[in-house]
Amino acid sequence: MPSIDMPLEELRKYKPALTRQADFESFWEKTIAEALAQPLNAELIPYPFPARDVDVFAVRFDGFGGGRIAGWYLRPKGEGPFPGVCQYHGYCGRGPRPLDMLPLASQGIASLSMDCRGQLGDSQDVRTIEGGQHPGWMTSGVRNPKEYYYRYVYADAVRALEVLARRSEIDPQRLAITGISQGGGITLATAALSDRPLLALPRIPFLCNFPRSLAITPAGPYPDITNYLRYRPDLEEITYRTLSYVDCMNLAPWIKCEIYVSNCLCDDICPPSTVFSAYNHMSCVKQMEIYPFHKHEVIYEDTERCYRKMMETLKP
C-alpha cells in the first residue's frame, strides 16, 4: 500500500510521547473558562436566499478577547428542536457559505460556519502580539503561548459551537462538528475542549504533532514555521514550547465524543503519521477512513461517508 510516510503497519502503531508542558491542563482550563464566561453577543442578520424551507442568516458574535467573528447560519423552517453542526474551514480560506451548507439544512440539520479570525472571511483579529512573524498565521504570536494565533482560534471555535447550542430551536444534545485540513484540526481541538459535541468528523486534519510535521513536511503551511526559524534560530525553543499547547496530538486524549477521521497516505501537507499520532492517543469511540492513493484533497466518497454518519447519529 503506497505511503509517502511510514508503512501502514507502522502508522497503526505510531504513538509518540505527548509533548505537553507542565501547565498544559491549567492553560486550557483557564482559557476555556474565560471563553465560556465572555458574553457571545450573537447577532443573526437575515440574508435573502432562494432556498425552500430553510432560513438563511449571516451570523456575528464576539471573538475570544475582542473583535467580531463572522459566519453563516442556516436552519430548517419551524420551531425544532433541530440537531446542529458547526463547520470550520481550511487554512487561509473562509467558512462554508449558504450554498455549501444547504444540503444539511435542507435535511433538517441546522448548520453554522465560522470564519477564522483574520483569514479570508470577515472575522476580525484584534490581538496585540509581541514581535514579528513569517507571512501567514503559523507564527503569529508564537513567542508567547497566551498570544498565539491558534489559542484564539480554538477558543473562537468553542464559542461558535456555543452560539449554535444556545439557540432556542436547537437540541444541544445532538451536535456535530466537522472541518477539512485546518478545519479538521480545529474540529479535533473543539472536540477536546468542549463537552458539547456528540460527533466529530475531522477530515485530513492539520495541526497535529508539530515536531514531526516540521521535520518531514515539504509543502503547505508547516514550512512557514521552519522558514521563520531559519531567520530566528534564537526562538526555536519558545516556538516549539508554544506550539505544544495547540498540538492536537496533545489535546487528543481529552476527546470523549464519537469521532470519525479521514487520512490520506500520500498527503504531503498533513502527513499520515501526524494524523495517526493524534488518533492513536484517543480512547473514545473512533474510526479512521484511510485513502491510500490520495494526497491532501477533498474526496467525494469521504464527503458522502461523513454525510451518512451525520444523518445516522443526529437523526434529524
Catalytic residues: 181, 267, 296
Q: Which three cell numbers stand for residue 183?
A: 478545519
Longest CA span, the chain: 58
For residues 220 and 223, give the distance between their C-alpha atoms in angstroms, rounded to a whole number: 7
Residue 29 DSSP SS3: helix
CB 204 within 8 A of CB 275: yes
Q: 69 is written with which cell numbers? A: 467573528
Of 172, 207, 193, 181, nearest in space to 277 by CA: 207
CB count within 10 Å of CB 108 equals 18
φ/ψ of 144, rounded to 5, equals -140, 120
Distance between CA atoms of 105 and 310, rounded to whole angstroms?
12
- Which grid coordinates belong to 87? 463547520
Using alpha carbons, select from 305, 206, 285, 217 the residue that is nearest to residue 246: 206
